[in-house]
Structure 1
Amino acid sequence: MGDCRPLGFLLGLPFALVALIFSLVGAVVWVLGSVLSCLCPCCICCTALANLAVDLIKLPVKIIRWFIDQIPC
Protein backbone atom coordinates (compact mmCIF):
# COMPACT_ATOMS: atom_id res chain seq x y z
CA MET A 1 0.00 0.00 0.00
CA GLY A 2 2.94 2.35 0.59
CA ASP A 3 1.60 5.90 0.92
CA CYS A 4 -2.09 5.03 1.36
CA ARG A 5 -3.71 6.70 4.38
CA PRO A 6 -7.42 5.83 4.33
CA LEU A 7 -8.08 7.30 7.79
CA GLY A 8 -6.97 10.76 6.69
CA PHE A 9 -9.16 10.47 3.63
CA LEU A 10 -12.21 9.49 5.69
CA LEU A 11 -11.65 12.27 8.24
CA GLY A 12 -11.25 14.88 5.52
CA LEU A 13 -14.23 13.76 3.47
CA PRO A 14 -16.93 15.86 5.25
CA PHE A 15 -14.75 18.96 5.01
CA ALA A 16 -14.06 18.23 1.36
CA LEU A 17 -17.79 17.96 0.67
CA VAL A 18 -18.32 21.43 2.16
CA ALA A 19 -15.38 22.66 0.10
CA LEU A 20 -17.01 21.08 -2.97
CA ILE A 21 -19.98 23.40 -2.48
CA PHE A 22 -17.56 26.33 -2.28
CA SER A 23 -15.90 25.12 -5.47
CA LEU A 24 -19.23 25.08 -7.31
CA VAL A 25 -19.80 28.67 -6.18
CA GLY A 26 -16.25 29.43 -7.29
CA ALA A 27 -16.95 27.97 -10.73
CA VAL A 28 -19.96 30.25 -11.17
CA VAL A 29 -17.97 33.27 -9.97
CA TRP A 30 -15.13 32.32 -12.32
CA VAL A 31 -17.46 32.18 -15.33
CA LEU A 32 -19.03 35.53 -14.42
CA GLY A 33 -15.63 37.12 -13.77
CA SER A 34 -14.28 35.82 -17.07
CA VAL A 35 -17.25 37.19 -18.97
CA LEU A 36 -16.99 40.56 -17.24
CA SER A 37 -13.25 40.80 -17.87
CA CYS A 38 -13.84 40.04 -21.56
CA LEU A 39 -16.58 42.64 -21.85
CA CYS A 40 -14.68 45.33 -19.97
CA PRO A 41 -10.92 44.68 -19.90
CA CYS A 42 -10.35 47.83 -17.84
CA CYS A 43 -11.93 46.13 -14.79
CA ILE A 44 -8.89 44.64 -13.07
CA CYS A 45 -11.03 43.56 -10.12
CA CYS A 46 -12.76 40.98 -12.31
CA THR A 47 -9.43 39.31 -12.95
CA ALA A 48 -8.72 39.13 -9.22
CA LEU A 49 -12.20 37.74 -8.66
CA ALA A 50 -11.61 35.05 -11.28
CA ASN A 51 -8.30 34.09 -9.61
CA LEU A 52 -10.07 33.80 -6.24
CA ALA A 53 -12.70 31.60 -7.86
CA VAL A 54 -10.01 29.29 -9.26
CA ASP A 55 -8.59 28.92 -5.75
CA LEU A 56 -12.07 28.02 -4.49
CA ILE A 57 -12.37 25.39 -7.22
CA LYS A 58 -9.09 23.77 -6.10
CA LEU A 59 -10.08 23.82 -2.42
CA PRO A 60 -11.54 20.27 -2.05
CA VAL A 61 -8.36 18.68 -3.37
CA LYS A 62 -6.19 20.80 -1.08
CA ILE A 63 -8.28 19.86 1.95
CA ILE A 64 -8.17 16.13 1.23
CA ARG A 65 -4.40 16.22 0.66
CA TRP A 66 -3.88 18.19 3.89
CA PHE A 67 -5.88 15.68 5.95
CA ILE A 68 -4.08 12.74 4.35
CA ASP A 69 -0.70 14.31 5.11
CA GLN A 70 -1.64 14.88 8.79
CA ILE A 71 -2.34 11.21 9.56
CA PRO A 72 0.81 9.10 10.05
CA CYS A 73 0.79 5.53 8.75
Structure 2
Amino acid sequence: MEDCRPLGFLIGLPFALIALLISLVGAVIWILGSILSCLCPCCACFSGLANLAVDLIKLPVKVIRWFIHQIPC
Protein backbone atom coordinates (compact mmCIF):
# COMPACT_ATOMS: atom_id res chain seq x y z
CA MET A 1 0.00 0.00 0.00
CA GLU A 2 1.43 3.34 -1.05
CA ASP A 3 1.55 6.22 1.42
CA CYS A 4 -0.31 9.13 -0.20
CA ARG A 5 0.16 12.11 2.10
CA PRO A 6 2.01 14.79 0.10
CA LEU A 7 -0.27 17.50 1.50
CA GLY A 8 0.98 16.87 5.04
CA PHE A 9 4.54 17.26 3.81
CA LEU A 10 3.76 20.57 2.08
CA ILE A 11 1.88 22.00 5.07
CA GLY A 12 4.60 20.93 7.48
CA LEU A 13 7.45 22.27 5.37
CA PRO A 14 7.50 25.84 6.80
CA PHE A 15 7.45 24.48 10.33
CA ALA A 16 10.22 22.04 9.46
CA LEU A 17 12.33 24.91 8.13
CA ILE A 18 11.90 26.74 11.45
CA ALA A 19 12.79 23.51 13.23
CA LEU A 20 15.86 23.24 10.99
CA LEU A 21 17.07 26.62 12.21
CA ILE A 22 16.49 25.49 15.80
CA SER A 23 18.43 22.30 15.06
CA LEU A 24 21.39 24.35 13.84
CA VAL A 25 21.36 26.13 17.19
CA GLY A 26 21.19 22.69 18.79
CA ALA A 27 24.25 21.59 16.83
CA VAL A 28 26.23 24.57 18.12
CA ILE A 29 25.07 23.86 21.69
CA TRP A 30 26.02 20.19 21.26
CA ILE A 31 29.53 21.07 20.11
CA LEU A 32 30.02 23.53 22.97
CA GLY A 33 28.55 21.10 25.50
CA SER A 34 30.79 18.30 24.26
CA ILE A 35 33.89 20.48 24.52
CA LEU A 36 32.95 21.69 28.01
CA SER A 37 32.16 18.16 29.22
CA CYS A 38 35.59 17.00 28.01
CA LEU A 39 37.31 19.89 29.77
CA CYS A 40 35.40 19.46 33.03
CA PRO A 41 33.93 15.93 33.32
CA CYS A 42 32.77 16.61 36.89
CA CYS A 43 29.93 18.85 35.60
CA ALA A 44 27.03 16.55 34.73
CA CYS A 45 24.95 19.45 33.43
CA PHE A 46 27.04 19.67 30.25
CA SER A 47 26.12 16.12 29.26
CA GLY A 48 22.44 16.95 29.82
CA LEU A 49 22.91 20.04 27.66
CA ALA A 50 24.43 17.90 24.92
CA ASN A 51 21.47 15.49 25.09
CA LEU A 52 19.04 18.42 24.79
CA ALA A 53 20.97 19.65 21.77
CA VAL A 54 20.70 16.24 20.10
CA ASP A 55 16.92 16.37 20.59
CA LEU A 56 16.90 19.80 18.94
CA ILE A 57 18.89 18.40 16.01
CA LYS A 58 16.27 15.65 15.50
CA LEU A 59 13.39 18.16 15.65
CA PRO A 60 12.86 18.79 11.87
CA VAL A 61 12.33 15.10 11.17
CA LYS A 62 9.88 14.80 14.06
CA VAL A 63 7.92 17.85 12.87
CA ILE A 64 7.60 16.59 9.28
CA ARG A 65 6.53 13.12 10.44
CA TRP A 66 3.94 14.60 12.79
CA PHE A 67 2.42 16.77 10.04
CA ILE A 68 2.38 13.90 7.54
CA HIS A 69 0.50 11.67 9.99
CA GLN A 70 -2.08 14.40 10.74
CA ILE A 71 -3.36 14.52 7.15
CA PRO A 72 -5.63 11.62 6.17
CA CYS A 73 -5.00 9.84 2.91
Runs of 4 or more consecutive aligned structure 1 residues displaced over 4 Å after TM superposition: none
Counterparts of 1:1-73 in structure 2, within 5 Å, are 2-73=2-73
Gaps of 5+ in 2: none
* TM-score for the superposition, normalised by structure 1: 0.97
Displacement of 1:4 after TM fit?
Answer: 3.0
Gaps of 5+ in 1: none
SS in structure 1 of the partner of residue 42 of structure 2: coil
Query: Aligned-residue CA RMSD in angstroms?
Result: 0.9
* TM-score for the superposition, normalised by structure 2: 0.97
Q: How many residues align?
A: 73
Displacement of 1:63 after TM fit?
Answer: 0.1
